[in-house]
Amino acid sequence: MDARITYRSNGESNGAYGIEAGSPSGISTTLILARLWRRKWLIAVSSTILFALFSAMLALLPVKYTAETEVVVEQRPQSVDLAAVLSRIPTDSQAVLTEAEAFRSRGLVQRTIAQLNLLTRPEFNPRILPEDDSLRSRWRRAKAAAMDAIGSLLRKSDGKGHRPGDPDLNEATEIFLAQLRVTPIGRSQVLRASFTSENPELASEVLNELVRLYLATQMETRVAVPTKMGDFLKPELDKLQEKVRAANDAVERYRNEAQLQQGVAAGKETLLYTHELTEANRELVTVRLKRQEAEARLAEVRTNPNAVTDVLSNVLIQQLHGQLSVLKDARSQIASTYGPHHPNLRQLEKSIAEAEGRLNAEVAKIGRSLASEAAVQSKREAQLLETIADLKDKVQKAGRARVVLASLEQEAEVNRSLLTTLLTQYNQLKSQRALQIADSYVLAPADVPTQPSFPPTVPLLGLAFVVSVGLSSLGALLLERTGHTIRSAQEVQPLLTVRLLGIVPKLESTARLLTQVIDSPQSAFTESIRSILARLMVPRNLGRVVLVASAQSREGRTSLAIALARLAALSGRRAILIDCNLRYPAIHGAFGTKIGTGLTDLLQNRIDLRAALRKDTLTPLDYITGGNLAPDAANLLCSPEMAELLVKLRSEYDLLILDSPPSSTVADASLIAQLADECLFVVGWNKTPWRLVREQVEELSYQCSVTGVVLNQVDMRKHLKYQDAYIGPPRAPVMIGSAG
């Protein structure tokens, strides 16, 4: 049973074949799923291993419990000002966040550690090693040993002495802070605090003790702050009063130095100068336009006076033009009637000269008038430019002076305002005493948690499964991507930048391959050869020289050339096959004959063309073998004799097929390509590195037109796994280019 693959021609240019891509980007979901399905066992095994590793890591994680409590930051009374600020906590969002950080302060944490004697617990002091021999305990002991070694190195490099308890306390503080969370609840005045520990009772006890110390610290602060603030504000008020007096003196002194009027609003002088500057600029534009207009009219008077309005509208000039016209008509009449030597002609010539002189003088007078006007406008423009420059300088000076004065006045005003505020607050501080109660209170104490909060086993296992499958799938896709051979028709155009002419199925035996087009004219192999031949043999291509090339040997290049030549001969075309692989000729073996004399002998003029031609016993095909081996094969292929031979054969045959040696091993293919009309490049399916193919195609394209690529020796069943082909209802198999 012949394996065939069906492709649809969609009428769009996609090389020379119609393939429906799954997506505009060329990488469809169907193609990705097909690649994943090809690697399903690899994905399954790697996913299982990764999931097992993640599960083992999850089992090593310690089980922890989280206790929670809520603390309310109370609003201060509206009747209290500074005293409320000092003794109570402002409850805006920034203040609530500040209290959250105060709740997590290192001093408060260390007091809690000391109060509960947490340094004696292994959870907060890794140097107290657990006594059991579990895997988790071993991990803790190894971690503690590593941390001790690192700490010793850091202390040696620092060179400073430490108290014996400092490292343990600092490490316990970091562990405590890592397990403590304090966050505001939305936009409310409530702080939610949580503490995580391996012991649920300890989590509740630690959190309640921390809240108690936090409230006690607030009370201590409220008792000490009013006295300290009063002592601080008194000298600050004295300094601020002196600064206010100095700022007022500085404002008056600068106003006098800059000669600025005290009653004039800031920027008034600048606005006046700016208005004058705007008017001057507007006048400058008008004067400049007038000057340019006068200069343009003057230039036109000098170049083409008869087209200037001033000249055309001048009455005297019009009269002079009329006189000249009459005189010239009279001169023409006398000259035509009495001849050029009539005595009156001299008088007429003199009159014409006088009229022209008067006309030129009048035009010159207009030009001088326009020149004078342009000069006046230029002078006015220069004066305006000087005025504008002076006004700009005044604007800048006035602006700078006002900026400096405004800065001084602003500084004085700020000092006055601050002085007023501090005086008010100082008076309030002296007259008011806030109630000595805590600003915060516990909304709900921390209960002992009953359910562990870490690790979330089910979500982590689900995530581990997703990550395992995702990483395995990604690895499979990367493995598919890094494949360096061409395995599908869709890869030809993106990788090689040339079109695909056809796909040739792989046959089981080489002997069957050479006679397949003869023995099985309706097979998939023959249909693919016929499709390729149809693209090579269009009516205008009679006498075409087609080079069949490949990058490496054993890609089926010679067999494909023989199949093309035989099928062309069977279809009634005059075809000839020439073995140009002079180093390792092979065509004679395919036809079952001895090599004998051939192309090398013909190019060296040892035999003539008729002696070199041989007839295929199965088809009307003519062929020329490589001939006797020659040491200078490359020179023969680029010789004038080779070019003359092809010219002669063009006139006798419709199609000349040249079988070349591999292009990546010798330069013979490039030499032959210079004499060919087009090149058919053969690529072994899933065999030849695509980078090598593209390199050779690009090199041959400099010598002749590379018509396209043929995927040869294709395993059609495996090819279907790599090909994102059209999927539709079953129908009769049709190869590209076949009839029907």
The mean pLDDT value for 325-337 works out to 74
546: confidence class by pLDDT, cuts 50, 70, 90: very high
Q: Tell me how far apart the alpha carbons of residues 221 and 436 are, in angstroms, rounded to a whole number.
A: 10
Of 23 and 48, the structure prediction assigns the larger pLDDT to 48
Report the pLDDT value the prediction gives residue 429, as an integer from 0 to 100.
66
The mean pLDDT value for 482-501 works out to 77
Q: What is the DSSP string of 217-255?
A: HHHHHHHHHHHHHHHHHHHHHHHHHHHHHHHHHHHHHHH
Report the pLDDT value the prediction gives residue 14, as an integer from 0 to 100.
37
Report the pLDDT value the prediction gives residue 361, as an integer from 0 to 100.
72
**Domain covering 489-722 in this structure, CATH number:** 3.40.50.300
Q: Tell me how far apart the alpha carbons of residues 252 and 101 are, in angstroms, rounded to a whole number.
A: 48
CA distances from 228 to 224, 424, 603, 660, 734 (A): 6, 17, 114, 101, 98
**And the tokens for 136?**
């988790």
278-282, 287-291, 661-665, range with greatest mean pLDDT: 661-665
Per-residue pLDDT at 569 exceeds 90: yes
Among the ranges given (141-155, 220-234, 619-633), the one the predictor scored with the smallest mean pLDDT: 141-155
2: confidence class by pLDDT, cuts 50, 70, 90: very low
Strands (E), 433-472: 440-444
Per-residue pLDDT at 647 exceeds 70: yes
What are the backbone angles phi and psi of residue 51, rounded to the nearest 5°? Answer: -65, -40
Helix 166-179 to helix 135-158 angle, to the nearest 10 degrees?
Answer: 130
Q: Tell me how far apart the alpha carbons of residues 271 and 266 are, in angstroms, rounded to a whole number.
A: 10
Residue burial 155-181, b: 16+ Cβ < 10 Å; e: rest: eeeeeeeeeeeebbbebbbebbeebbe
Nearest alpha-carbon partner for 43 in 366, 471, 443 = 471
The mean pLDDT value for 611-635 works out to 90
Among the ranges given (100-109, 432-441, 540-549), the one the predictor scored with the smallest mean pLDDT: 432-441
Of 172 and 86, the structure prediction assigns the larger pLDDT to 172
Number of other residues whose CB lies within 10 A of the CB of residue 713: 20
Of 349 and 264, the structure prediction assigns the larger pLDDT to 349
CA distances from 726 to 38, 328, 368, 712 (A): 19, 92, 88, 21
Report the pLDDT value the prediction gives residue 739, as an integer from 0 to 100.
29
Q: Tell me how far apart the alpha carbons of residues 70 and 211 are, in angstroms, rounded to a whole number.
A: 9
Of 654 and 243, the structure prediction assigns the larger pLDDT to 654
Where in the chain are the domains? Answer: 29-57+460-481, 65-212, 268-404, 489-722
- What confidence tens digit (pLDDT) does each residue in 687-709 have? 888 888 888 899 998 889 898 99
- What confidence tens digit (pLDDT) does each residue in 411-456 have? 778 877 887 887 777 777 666 555 556 677 787 788 888 888 877 8
Among the ranges given (86-100, 377-391, 616-630), the one the predictor scored with the smallest mean pLDDT: 86-100
Sign (positive/negative) of CA torsion 91, 94, 95, 98? positive
**And the tokens for 200?**
């649920």
> How do 614-615 and 622-624 pair as beta strands?
antiparallel
19: confidence class by pLDDT, cuts 50, 70, 90: very low
Per-residue pLDDT at 646 exceeds 90: yes
Q: Tell me how far apart the alpha carbons of residues 267 and 256 are, in angstroms, rounded to a whole number.
A: 16
Q: Tell me how far apart the alpha carbons of residues 526 and 549 are, in angstroms, rounded to a whole number.
A: 20
Report the pLDDT value the prediction gives residue 737, as an integer from 0 to 100.
32
CATH topology classification for 268-404? Helix Hairpins (1.10.287)
Contact 590, 558 (CB under 8 A): yes
Of 37 and 522, the structure prediction assigns the larger pLDDT to 522
Nearest alpha-carbon partner for 669 in 548, 544, 577, 533 = 548
Nearest alpha-carbon partner for 567 in 524, 538, 601, 526 = 526
Report the pLDDT value the prediction gives residue 662, as an integer from 0 to 100.
92
According to DSSP, the residues that pair with 66 across neighbouring strands are 196
